[in-house]
Amino acid sequence: RKEVEQDPGPFNVPEGATVAFNCTYSNSASQSFFWYRQDCRKEPKLLMSVYSSGNEDGRFTAQLNRASQYISLLIRDSKLSDSATYLCAVALRSASKIIFGSGTRLSIRP
């Protein structure tokens, strides 16, 4: 079983739609959780860290469910510029190596 699993997509949604991604992780001892965004042929960029209480950054909301070992990302009012691959990432501790999921491709159409 992979350490971090994501639905590869692609998700193809119209501009303005709300879209949600889920990610599951296998190691229950994991402590740090992240969502990254990766554009084609570019390095990943940190979108947001995920905290136990859930957190929001503008149109983006991240949730963590430790009991079920999954992380979610919700994007509201999607923009064309949101088209990218979204990578879920997990670390045992804040200073540990980060393990990435395979990414979910999102395409926003006009």
Partner 1 sequence: GAVVSQHPSWVICKSGTSVKIECRSLDFQATTMFWYRQFPKQSLMLMATSNEGSKATYEQGVEKDKFLINHASLTLSTLTVTSAHPEDSSFYICSAREAAQPQHFGDGTRLSIL
Q: Which residues bind partner 1 (CB under 8 A)?
A: 8, 41-46, 87, 94-95, 97-103
Is the distance from CB of 100 to CB of 23 less than 8 angstroms? no
- Pick between residue 17 and residue 55 the one whose CB is nearest to partner 1: 55
CB of 75 to partner 1, least distance (A): 20
What is the token pair recorded at 26? 């296998």
CB of 95 to partner 1, least distance (A): 4
- Pick between residue 17 and residue 99 the one whose CB is nearest to partner 1: 99
- Dist. CA 31–CA 19, nearest whole Å: 25
- Pick between residue 39 and residue 56 the one whose CB is nearest to partner 1: 39
CB of 99 to partner 1, least distance (A): 7
- Dist. CA 22–CA 9, nearest whole Å: 11
CB of 77 to partner 1, least distance (A): 27
| Amino acid of residue 15 | E
What are the two backbone dihedrals, phi and then psi, of residue 13, each rounded to the nearest 5 degrees? -130, 155
Strands 19-25 and 70-75, bridge-based pairing: antiparallel
- Pick between residue 14 and residue 97 the one whose CB is nearest to partner 1: 97
